[in-house]
Amino acid sequence: MQDALQQRGWKGCVNEAMNESKMNRGLKNRHLQLISLGGVIGSGYFLGTGYVLEQAGPAAILAYLLGGLIVLCVMLCLAELAVEKPISGSFVNYARDNISPTWACGVGWAYWLTWVSYVPSEMIAAGIIMENLIVTAVNLFHVDKFGESEFWLSLVKIVALVAFSVVAGLICLGLIGDQGYIGSLVLLGSGGFAPNGYWAIVMTMVIILVNFQGTEIIGLAAGECERPEKSIPIAVRNVTWRIIALYIIPITLLISILPWDKATLEESVFAAAMAEYGLHNFAAIFAMVVLTAAISCSNSGLYGAARALYALGKMDMAPRSLSHISKKGMPSHAIVFSICTCWLVILLYAFNPDSALYTYLLAVSGFTGAIAWISICWSQLRRRRVLEAAGEVEKLAYKTPFFPYVTHFGIWAQVFCLAVMAFTPDLREALYAGVPMLLLPMAWYRLRARLRARRAAVVR
């Protein structure tokens, strides 16, 4: 029965893709790559890395490497699905066609809640509400204008990280400052490589995966990009390796010049590292970079939230009006609804900064983000098995390499992360908040389906 539903769903791929032509395919390959980066490198990266180093010390670099490997696996699975079916809403649609409509409803709503809680946190982290006006305006632009704005915002962050890496490298070599050649003196000088033990690496990796969330926006943008069959695989390969490079290299250099026990949440650790060596002007630049990062991440996050909501509306898992496409080819109703929800969260926080509602909505991002990534890999696994049974694998324009090992690693590594969250008091709150956000939409969808079936039976 399930296989039949899957076959019917994917036979409708062409029709859905044709309907998707109403969406404006104005995103170029360079836009697609930078949009995904914009969702990943937020203010939390510049401000929150201090917490990561505080927990794991220099060994945090292993957690970033493992996190990058998981990102790679998920993106390779997403590329196969998105090239075969380049439609806005991506993994929500894929979950419906390959897993079940009930699961898709839960994942879609949970993912939307992830971003409408995370975007306000980025705005609050930057300490300025005015940026919400910027994000609101940009998301209502023609999609190519949105892509162009996100391209330049993301570029600022990338240039800042590259500049930091160059300067930090010169400090390590003793070419800047009077400290001479540093080598591994700072890196191993405060308790060794893993001062808090290697279990702290696992703990840190769970938190790091939250920072990596946003790469899946590539799939959500598939319905609005030019020549998706070519741009998506390129974007997946390039973005994945660039994310790894923009995390691994700067952080490796960071812990080579700044003692890990001096890392705090009080300020950006990148700015603190520069100030440590007297480069106060360069350190001040990172204050502006944090603001840019917050705007950029909010921009990408709101984009992803609106496209997921649009997909839910189109599949009758949310009010149909949310699937409305404007004359500019934008899901305007989904965008406005998402923006209004973000404003509501900010207002709740403004009235009570210690609001439990805000805390729980923020905590849910770790859980729901992992569920979305698991769903991508699971959908790719189910879809490939169907194609194998039909002898149609060769029809795929792009195939996930090293299947099924890549897919299984992407699934089970994240299941392990969720298990760690369940047995860790500091992270368990994310499960308490996240599980209902996943299960309640699923229960609502099942209940509504049963009520509709009963009404249909009465009419007969």
Could you tell me the two tokens for 113? Answer: 């809640």
One-character DSSP codes across 90-140: HHHHHHHHHT-HHHHHHHHHHHHHHHHHHHHHHHHHHT-THHHHHHHHHHT
In total, the chain counts a number of residues equal to 460
CATH number where 169 lies: 1.20.1740.10
pLDDT value for 11: 45
Angle between helices 280-314 and 332-351 (to 10 degrees): 130
Q: Are 422 and 431 in contact (CB under 8 A)?
A: yes
Question: Could you give the angle at the alpha carbon of 70 between the alpha carbons of 439 and 67, nearest 5°?
Answer: 100
Q: What is the pTM of this model?
A: 0.82
Cα-to-chain-centroid distance, residue 410: 15
Contacts of 372 (CB under 8 A, 6+ apart): 91, 107, 110, 111, 114, 213, 216
Instruction: Return the SS3 of 86.
Output: coil
Give CA–CA dist 69/373, Å, rounded.
13
Could you tell me the two tokens for 409? Answer: 């690693």
| Residue type at 457 in one-letter notation | A
Q: How many domains does the chain have?
A: 1
Determine if residue 214 is left, alpha or beta; phi over 0 gives left, psi from -120 to 50 gives alpha, anything else beta: left
Q: Name the residue among 215, 240, 376, 241 with its Cα closest to residue 304.
A: 215
Q: Name the residue among 33, 42, 86 with its Cα closest to residue 301.
A: 42
Q: Are 70 and 401 in contact (CB under 8 A)?
A: no
Give CA–CA dist 315/327, Å, rounded.
21
pLDDT value for 116: 83
Answer yes or no: is 264 within a domain.
Answer: yes
| Domain with 181 in it | 2-20+27-89+128-303+367-433
Each of the 460 residues of the chain gets a pLDDT tens digit; together they read 344 434 444 444 444 444 444 555 555 666 666 666 655 676 667 766 777 788 888 888 888 888 888 988 998 998 899 888 877 667 888 999 999 999 999 999 988 987 887 777 666 655 543 444 544 454 545 545 555 666 777 778 888 888 899 999 999 888 887 878 887 788 887 778 888 888 888 877 777 777 777 777 776 666 566 676 777 777 777 766 777 778 888 888 998 888 888 877 666 788 888 888 888 888 878 767 777 777 777 777 787 888 889 889 989 999 989 988 887 777 889 988 988 888 887 777 667 655 455 555 556 677 888 899 999 999 999 999 999 999 999 989 889 999 999 999 999 999 998 888 888 777 777 788 788 889 999 999 999 989 988 888 887 6
Give CA–CA dist 347/36, Å, rounded.
28
Answer yes or no: is 362 within a domain.
Answer: no
**Residues β-bridged to residue 27:** 225
- pLDDT, tens digit, for every residue of 179-232? 788 877 888 877 788 888 888 888 777 777 777 777 777 766 665 666 767 777
Answer yes or no: is 381 within a domain.
Answer: yes
Strands (E) across 358-438 are located at none
Give CA–CA dist 246/104, Å, rounded.
32
Answer yes or no: is 315 within a domain.
Answer: no
Give the CA distances from residue 428 to residues 130, 170, 418, 419, 421, in Å, rounded to whole numbers and listed in that order. 33, 42, 9, 10, 5
pLDDT value for 131: 43
One-character DSSP codes across 27-38: B-HHHHHHHHHH
Could you tell me the two tokens for 63? Answer: 């957690």
Is the bond preceding 404 in cis, omega lying within 30 degrees of 0? yes
pLDDT value for 124: 63
pLDDT value for 14: 43
The torsion angles phi and psi of 99, rounded to 5 degrees, stand at -110, -75
Strands (E) across 276-404 are located at none
Answer yes or no: is 279 within a domain.
Answer: yes
pLDDT value for 353: 59
- pLDDT, tens digit, for every residue of 330-368? 788 998 898 888 888 777 766 765 545 555 555 667 788
pLDDT value for 384: 96
- List own/partner pairs for 444-447 with CB under 8 A and 24 or more apart: 444/105, 445/101, 445/102, 445/105, 445/106, 445/317, 446/102
Answer yes or no: is 396 within a domain.
Answer: yes
Answer yes or no: is 310 within a domain.
Answer: no
Centre a 10 Å sphere on the Cβ of residue 416 and count the other Cβ atoms it contains: 13
Give CA–CA dist 97/104, Å, rounded.
9
Centre a 10 Å sphere on the Cβ of residue 183 and count the other Cβ atoms it contains: 12
* Percent of the residues in the chain that have a pLDDT greater than 70, as a whole number: 75
Give CA–CA dist 326/336, Å, rounded.
12
Answer yes or no: is 423 within a domain.
Answer: yes
